[in-house]
Chains A and B, each alone.
Chain A
Amino acid sequence: MLIALSLVANLALAQEGYAPQRPVTDPLDATREARVQELGKHLRCAVCQGVSIADSPASMARAQLDKVRELVAQGKTDEEIYAYFVERYGEWALMEPKKSGVTLGLWVFPLLLLAVGLYVIWLQSKKGPTPAPPVSEEPKSEPSTDEYLAKVRADLEK
């Protein structure tokens, strides 16, 4: 009797600070349920840190997944289902930013930088190694006006 009372008390304490378990929703048929799970992997859980609603054990994530289930059951398209969450949380709701509009830059910019880098490397390799600067010849001595030097030269030529 005492053990049973203790268990009840512990369960009551365990509930403090946590959301109690919510009723589980019945899955759809196999094909549609697979689509629900796939869509859930692309949608961010609103109360978690970087986890999709399909991967999160949070009760709120399961509520969001239930919403996906409801929208799939209504025959909504993938785009309409994503739009439902984007309308509330913006593109933050998507695990990956959309490949259109401003966010297209996030996908294109790194590829563009890579392409520019490869182009520069190709240009450099096409030019070949830079030739070494030519060895400079001895500078020709200017005719000297030195009288002594002129005399020496004259003596040598004799």
Chain B
Amino acid sequence: MKKPIAVGSALAIIALTVYVMAKGFGSNPHEVPFLLSGKPAPAFTIKRLDNDQPVSFSDFKGKPLVINFWATWCGPCQTEHPVLDWAAKKYEGQAVFLGIVFEDNEQNTKRFLAQNGWSFVQLFDPKSTVAVDYGVSGVPETYFIDRNGIINHKVAAPFVDPREFAAHMETILK
């Protein structure tokens, strides 16, 4: 009677260890979890960089929204800038594109946009409060928000392929 219990306990411990190790080895240790997918996007009111006018999340009610958090000092953000420019033009009238610049200053941003294209509305988050509210964990990060104001998902990597961006857009244009 004692032997089956001992064997059962040993097997349970081995199974638990294998499960924990498989789960640990199967995940990227540098990936920061993101739990806001499927939840309402946090509201905000911050100013536009081109005319200093306040812009609120509620201004875009009923429209699919793409929000790109970025900064000029971030190399990958510079790399993906042409893809975002292309996407903003391609999806004009179907979705709203917003850039939110954080951990940066206005002068750098305006200079960068003047040199590299300013095809969609850019907002300035001076104390990164909006970035914290959105659970940002790096730059660049792009949020895809549906017409009901629900975060469908975010992409925490730069876009280099327009086709890849188009596939993400499909999730919020439905």
Which A residues have a C-beta under 8 Å from some C-beta of B?
Answer: 15-20, 22-23, 25, 46-47, 49, 59-60, 63-64, 66-67, 70, 86-90, 92
Contacts and interface: CB of A to CB of B under 8 A. Distances in A.
Contacts, number: 72
B15 to A, nearest CB: 14
Most chain A CB atoms below 10 A, which of B39, B128, B133: B128
Contact of B127 (A66, A86, A87): A66
Contacts of A92: 32-33
Contacts of B136: 46, 60
B132 A63 contact: yes
Contact of A63 (B34, B73, B104, B127): B127
A100 to B, nearest CB: 18
Given A22-B127, A67-B129, A90 B137 contact: no
B131 A89 contact: no
A17 B32 contact: no
Contacts of A60: 103, 128, 131-132, 136
Query: Mostly helix, strand, loop or mixed at chain B's interface?
Result: loop
B104 A20 contact: yes
B128 A63 contact: yes
Interface size class, chain B: 20 to 34
Contact of A19 (B33, B35, B103, B134): B103
Contacts of A46: 32, 135-138
Query: Mostly helix, strand, loop or mixed at chain A's interface?
Result: helix
Interface string B83-120: 00000000000000000001111001000000000000
A52 to B, nearest CB: 15
B62 interface: no
A47 B137 contact: yes
Most chain A CB atoms below 10 A, which of B32, B71, B136: B32
19 contacts: A15-B73, A17-B73, A17-B75, A19-B103, A20-B103, A20-B104, A20-B105, A22-B103, A23-B127, A25-B127, A46-B135, A46-B138, A64-B132, A66-B128, A67-B129, A88-B35, A88-B36, A88-B134, A92-B32
B23 to A, nearest CB: 12
B105 to A, nearest CB: 5
Nearest to B42: A88
A19 B108 CA distance: 11
Contact of B129 (A49, A59, A63, A87): A63
Contacts of B73: 15-20
B126 interface: yes
Contacts of A86: 35
Contacts of A15: 73, 108
A137 B135 CA distance: 82
Interface string B47-74: 0000000000000000000000001010
Given A17-B73, A17-B75, A59 B103 contact: yes
Contacts of B137: 46-47, 89
Contacts of B71: 19
